[in-house]
Chain A
Amino acid sequence: MALLEVADLAVDYSSARGTVQAVRDVTFELERDEVLGIVGESGSGKSTLAHAILGYRLKGTSRLQGRVTFDGVSLLDCPPAVLRRTWGRRMAIVHQNPLASLTPTMRVGEQIAETLRQHRGATHVDSRSAVAACLRSVGLPEGSDIARRYPHQLSGGQRQRITIAIALSLEPDLMILDEPTTNLDATTEAVILDLLGEIKARTHTAMVYISHNLGVIARVATRVAVMYAGEFVEYGRVDDIFRSPAHPYTRALLACRPRAGQTKRDASLQWIGGEIRVRQERAVECIFRDRCPAKTDPCAVAPGWSDMASGHSVRCWNASVSAQIAPASGPATDLQPTDDIVLDASQIRKTFGRRSNSVRAVNDVSMRVRRGAIVGLVGESGSGKSTLLRCIAGLEVADGGKTAYLGADIPASLAARDREILKTMQMVFQDPESTLNPSLTIGTTLRRHLKSFRPVDSSEADRRIERALEQVRLGPQYQHRLPRELSGGEKQRIAIARAFLSAPELVLCDEPLSSLDVSVQSAICQLLLDLQRDSHASYVFVSHDLSIVRYMADRITVMYLGEVIEEGSAQSFDQPPVHPYTEALFSATQLPDPAAKSQRVRLVGQISEADKYGLGCIFNSRCHRRKGPECADAFPPWQELPERRYRCHWSAPELRGLQEGGIGATPVAPYADR
């Protein structure tokens, strides 16, 4: 008998809009030592399922039906007291946001000890050594004072380690991980995934790993369930799912992400039109029908499970017919950057705070953008990439440096810039939820933007707004809608339409994709490329997602602790040597391919303010390729390559030797022994 058996699980919510069927017909088994990866977009019911597996009713749950059998015990029929004893001791859950799952007013060591005392009745002295063991098991240094700190004194990665330590403290048989790395930087994510791999190899804990990120799932899972609108649509071993995906949804999801090395000049990305619809009643037709690129007549009736191979099944009528979605058509764009320089920012400097506790966010950064080019700006959170963008836009007043725009120096402060500059330099913001004024209709928002640059009569304004909506592929009826009636992707389209209303020369994109689903991300990418082809605008594109930056950008600038440590043409980043930090960033990218073996380069420690004020290289305290004492004592010079330059004490041939030889890096197989 399997450790966990879930059969016909269904969860309903009652909300102000009526009953919502969040999860339906979910059936699977999980053995010890297995990792079930559940992948799906937002709104697919993943988190609801995670809690339902525990027999936990989230607020608003009106129905929890089906069978969940954990080690022979039916959880949904258990009295609450039995459930509580099972939770924690035998089943544990790790949530997405560790700051919300840890108590802010309690030392983290005490929070681990509390769990131990509650379930084990451990005494004070026992629990202290047990806490130390727990911290060790998640790779937190023992001698440090971490146990005595409060959650806000820890970094995001450390906090997530603590929640994992709490989950692990009672050696549970089953761990449920609900997007545990989604809020973390890629480099931290890679470290946490390594840690989970080690834990699994050591304890043989069964895991249910929930994520929207196919790359992460490919890395951790042994089995994969693809979830759509509350149902599993495909289920199988990780290799089957990623090698021979059968459901059109799975295929489309995989085609949404750029493959390794794919750029906008090679092929355009796929996207899935429409969005997940909230189900209020059982659908007669296939749940994916309205968005399916391969739909046929039989799809009007919901398909049952059909087997593709042993242990690989799919709910689609056309899976065996191999209904290929149209293979990626030609290049996504053919626009080549010209030699004309649109933006030339030099030595931009910005410090926040007053003398005693000031933070140098951007330090002597220079950046050049050619007409029609996309400059990708990458780095971990805290690297100053957003601040740089905001300094260029004028939202923050730079403390030093010069910005030349369209051939003329422009003032640092927004108030001092003239209207023409404001008109042609536009920005797209990160959070689609707050980018539009919630109390204004889309039409009003766009009209205000239009009228602030030039007086237009209302019929002309209406015409231009309709055209702008058409450019971002939305109908004229959107004018009369309020932002809350729109999905995240639609809001971001409106924000892009707003930026393009005034014929911009330069569009500053501050992580425009990071809160969107993958299927929407690729559509927005293509939209940005199409608009660029028509307008010849230039973009500065900030993102922490290296695959997307590699796909979109002509040039890439890598920032660390407010300084540029590497810059050059995008394609030159495929060839070593690259700066050790860039190497680590690339290595942390999770590719949606279970066989991908990356060179394991893991950064230890975290971004630390102190490094900025030392004499040496700002990266030296975390660098895995430290050369010698000069790294800490001397500021590294620029090392010039034909199309790129980086700041390091290693010269290009030396670093190339190290990186090609794989010295200093351990190869990492995806979760071993499966």
Chain B
Amino acid sequence: MTDQAAAAPLTAGVESGRTGRSWRARLVVPAAVVLIYLLLAAFGEALAPYSATDFNTGPPLNAPSWAHLFGTDGFGRDVFSRVLVGTRTILLLSIAATLFGVGVGGGIGLVSGYRGGMLDEILMRLVDILLALPGLLLAILILTSLGPSSLNLVVSIAIVFVPKSARIARSAILPLRGHGYVEAARLRGASTTMIVFRELLPNVLPELIVEFCLRFAYALLLISSLGFLGFGVQPPTPDWGLMISEARNYVSIAPWAVLFPALAIGILVVAVNALADALASTGERRAEQYL
């Protein structure tokens, strides 16, 4: 049994080489793109040729040239530098919001699903109420009542994510609830926290990771949308959504100022979605192998 298990990857490579390669490509390509974004977030500021907030680094609304790779915006700021520096802002904000939202939502869902009964009923009805409100509107509502700041942005997006993550986590944990190892843990006197987070969490982690990636992509879109609408990151911080919003008046004469931040958002969102997809199907492959 064990020998076979150990030999499995080797034979799998030979037998299903073609499907194996395409499957790996589906995981590696989006992961590489996301990794590049992460590197840019870390070192973008150092690479940027100009300061992201300096006015008049060149003539305003200048087309892309060697001096200004992505051109300049209406204030003569370097679009390339702003896109680079903006990477960090949006990645930090969306990662924080997703971690916070999926963490809290997942926790609520796990406990609610495991405990069941009245607690589950109450929590899930509250979740339903939150789910009934459109995400962007809810975020705007929270932001306007809290006032715009980075922290409030994170909090409002996290609140938008809580109900959906709770649902996912709950449905992942429900079928595991009656398993023998859970009952064995109850019989040895383990607490609910212990059972949920040490016995059950490892078994639903793959689902939660996929959920994290999906929510992360949503967070990027939400932050950009909020920035565009003026509720998000406040000027002069370079933010892709805000950049698009500021440059949209000159879109006919200086399309680059809109195009490059939009591309930056688009590519990242597609890559993160593809990564989530690949991770989900990896999970399924795993599950099939162990059957």
Contact = CB atoms under 8 A, between A and B. Distances in A.
Nearest to A477: B2
Contacts of B145: none
Interface stretch (B8-16, B93-101, B234-242): B8-16
Interface string A307-335: 00000000000000000000000000000
A68 interface: no
Nearest to B200: A437
Interface string A480-492: 0100111100000
B184 A429 contact: yes
Interface string A633-673: 00000000000000000000000000000000000000000
Interface in A340-377: none
A452 B289 contact: no
Interface in B215-273: none
B118 interface: no
A278 interface: yes
Contacts of B179: 431, 434-435
A395 B202 contact: no
A485 B1 contact: yes
Contacts of B1: 275, 485-487
A19 B16 CA distance: 10
B47 interface: no
Interface string B176-218: 0001110111111110000000010011010000000000000
B199 A437 contact: yes
Given A436-B180, A485-B5, A18 B14 contact: yes
Contact of A449 (B7, B180, B188, B289): B188
Given A437-B203, A452-B188, A453-B188, A485 B180 contact: no
Contacts of A394: 187
Interface in B1-49: 1-2, 4-5, 7-8, 11-12, 14-16
A19 B12 CA distance: 9
B188 A16 contact: no
B8 A452 contact: no
A429 B183 contact: yes
A449 B198 CA distance: 13
Contacts of B184: 427, 429, 435, 449, 495, 498
Contacts of B14: 18
Contacts of A448: 185, 188
B66 interface: no
Contact of A434 (B8, B180, B285): B180
A263 interface: no
Interface string B120-156: 0000000000000000000000000000000000000
Contacts of B186: 395, 414
B180 A429 contact: yes
B189 A434 contact: no
B181 A434 contact: yes
Range of interface residues on A (Cβ < 8 Å): 35 or more
A14 B12 CA distance: 10
Contacts of B5: 484-485
Nearest to B7: A17
Contacts of B289: 16-17
Contact of B8 (A17, A395, A439, A498): A17
A615 interface: no
A267 interface: no
Contacts of A85: none
A486 B2 CA distance: 8
A17 B187 contact: no
A16 B12 contact: yes
Contacts of B189: 414, 419, 422, 452
A18 B184 CA distance: 36
Interface residues of B, number: 30
B235 to A, nearest CB: 47
A55 to B, nearest CB: 25
B92 to A, nearest CB: 31
Most-contacted residue by chain A among B1, B7, B180, B205 (CB, 10 A): B180
A273 interface: no
A311 B189 CA distance: 60
A440 interface: yes
A440 B11 contact: no
A426 interface: yes
A485 B8 CA distance: 12
Given A422-B187, A485-B1, A18 B11 contact: yes
A278 B11 CA distance: 14
Nearest to A495: B180
A481 B2 contact: yes
A459 to B, nearest CB: 22
A382 to B, nearest CB: 17
A429 B179 CA distance: 9
Contacts of B185: 448
A436 B202 CA distance: 13
Nearest to A431: B180
Interface in A445-473: 445, 448-449, 452-453
Most-contacted residue by chain B among A17, A395, A449 (CB, 10 A): A17
A526 to B, nearest CB: 22
Contacts of A449: 184, 188
Interface in A501-548: none
A141 interface: no
Contacts of A395: 183, 186-187
Contacts of A487: 1
Contact of A485 (B2, B11, B12, B16): B2
A343 to B, nearest CB: 15
B16 A14 contact: yes
Contacts of B188: 422, 448-449, 452-453
A437 B186 CA distance: 13
B8 A16 contact: yes
B16 A435 contact: no
A437 B1 CA distance: 19
Nearest to B285: A16
A14 B181 contact: no
14 contacts: A14-B15, A17-B4, A17-B7, A18-B8, A19-B15, A280-B11, A393-B187, A435-B181, A437-B203, A438-B203, A449-B184, A452-B190, A484-B5, A486-B1
List the 9 closest A-B pairs by CB distance, nearest first.
A435-B180, A18-B11, A429-B180, A439-B202, A434-B179, A437-B181, A452-B188, A17-B8, A484-B290
Interface of A: 14, 16-19, 275, 278, 280, 393-395, 414, 419, 422, 425-427, 429-431, 434-440, 445, 448-449, 452-453, 481, 484-487, 495, 498
Interface of B: 1-2, 4-5, 7-8, 11-12, 14-16, 179-181, 183-190, 199, 202-203, 205, 285, 288-290
Given A17-B4, A414-B186, 19 more contacts: A16-B12, A16-B15, A16-B288, A17-B11, A17-B289, A18-B8, A393-B187, A414-B189, A427-B187, A435-B181, A436-B180, A438-B203, A440-B202, A445-B181, A448-B185, A449-B184, A452-B188, A485-B1, A486-B1
